[in-house]
Every structure is written in C-alpha cells, then in structure tokens.
Amino acid sequence: MTARILVADDDPKHAQLIRLYLEREGHQVLTVGDGRSALDVARSRKPDLLVLDVMMPLVDGLDVCRILRAESDVAILLVTARSSENDMLLGLDIGADDYMAKPVSPRELTARVRALLRRAGAGEGGLLQVGDLEIDAGRFEVRMRGEAVTLTAKEFAILELLAKEPGRVYTRGQIIDKAFGFEHDVSERTVDAHVVNLRRKVEQNPAEPEYVQTVYGRGYRMAEH
C-alpha cells in the first residue's frame, strides 16, 4: 500500500532521513520545516498521513495536530525529542494516532507507518471488482475475465483510482493529482496517452470502451457494471 505522507520537521537533516526511510517503502513524501507550512500543505494536498515533529517554529506539532484533528481524520504520527511520558499522553489526548520518541529508527518508523495506514485504509480492502474486471490493489494485479493483465505503474494507478468509485468523473487534473501523486506536474495529454494504453490492455474493443470511459469535456470515469 503506497501512501502520500507529509513530514514536518524543522531539522532538515532529520526530515530528509525520514523521507528516505519512507520513500524506500514506496510512499510519496513531501516535507515542510515549520508548523504553519504543515497546516497549509496538509490542507491543500490532503496527505494520507502526517509525521509531525512536536517542536517546530511558528506553530508547534501539538497545535498542528489539534487544529487538523478538528477538520479532518488524517492519520497523525507524532515525533518528539522529549521522551517524557507527559508529552506522549498529551499527544494521544489531542488526537494523534501514534507516538514515537527520537531518535527514530527506520524499522520502528516504517512499522508504525504501516500499522497506521492499515488502520486508516481498512475500508479500502484489497480487491476491487467492476464487471469482469478484478483489481488486486495489494498485489498490483489486474485480471480481465480471469486472465491476468500486465499494467505499468501509471496505468495501474489510473485504473485503481477510477475503479474505487465507478461512475464518478475525474478531470485530467484530478487524475494527475490523485493517481500520479502530488509533486507531479505533467501535461494533461499525458493522461490521454496512458488511457489509450490502458484501454488497449483492458478493453475488448478500445474504440468503444466498456470500462474506462471518456466524458467529453470533463474527463474520464469507470463505467458502472
């Protein structure tokens, strides 16, 4: 399960370390250096999980946590240098989902992140089914009429996004944001190109798609079956 994670830490070296650990796990990571930016970015990019340092300039981690908890249910992992029992209880009280003391070990970090994402994404389930199309999100596997289909990463991401909510129309911009991940800035034609390839692999007759359909002037959607 790959996720979008925002890391907020005022020590750039520490932030880069955490980014490295998480990217090795296949996650998309964005870092900021103060609480104010953490709030802004969390609101605008809507990550799946926040790794928050407690001590930060402008707005501290506990406040960021408190504020965000009031507006969304994003998963939050607090990190602190002070390994006091007090801080921890305070953090969990405020609505953090988990808590770690510095120094951060890679094993512990990735284990806790995995656990949090599993909890948060419990509703996502592994297997998506639309008509004769099966998508196993955990295994990156797709089957059409029982037959395995090999997709590239982007193709899979687009298919998965659309299949999560059949009938819903996504603009090309939304597909770039949500399927390719933030920090991605590509032409909207690129989405078309991937869709062409996707249809070639998934549709019986790509000229009249039964699954990945175009909604003229708006974007694409998965047909309801």
Partner DNA sequence: CAACCTGTGAAGAACTTGTGGCCTCATCGC
Partner DNA sequence: GCGATGAGGCCACAAGTTCTTCACAGGTTG
Contact footprint for a copy of itself (CB under 8 A): 24-26, 36, 43-46, 58, 85, 88, 98, 105-108, 110-112, 115, 139-141, 152-153, 167-169, 171-173, 176-177, 182-185, 188, 215-218
If binding is defined by CB under 7 A, does position 221 make contact with DNA? no
Q: CB 174 → a copy of itself: shortest distance, Å?
A: 8
Q: How many residues bind DNA (CB under 7 A)?
A: 27
Q: Which of 91, 155, 175, 211: binder of DNA (CB under 7 A)?
A: 155
- Which stretch in 58-66, 78-86, 110-118, 189-197 sits in contact with DNA by CB under 7 A? 189-197
If binding is defined by CB under 7 A, does position 154 make contact with DNA? yes
Q: Which of 186, 204, 224, 225: binder of DNA (CB under 7 A)?
A: 186
If binding is defined by CB under 7 A, does position 195 make contact with DNA? yes
8 conformational bin, left if phi > 0, alpha if psi -120 to 50, beta if neither: beta
Q: Which of 180, 202, 221, 222: binder of DNA (CB under 7 A)?
A: 180
193 binds, among DNA, a copy of itself, none (CB under 5 to 8 A by kind): DNA
Q: ∠41-45-49 over CA atoms, to 5°?
A: 85
For DNA, the binding residues (CB under 7 A) are 150, 152-155, 172, 180, 184, 186-187, 189-190, 192-197, 199, 206-207, 214-219
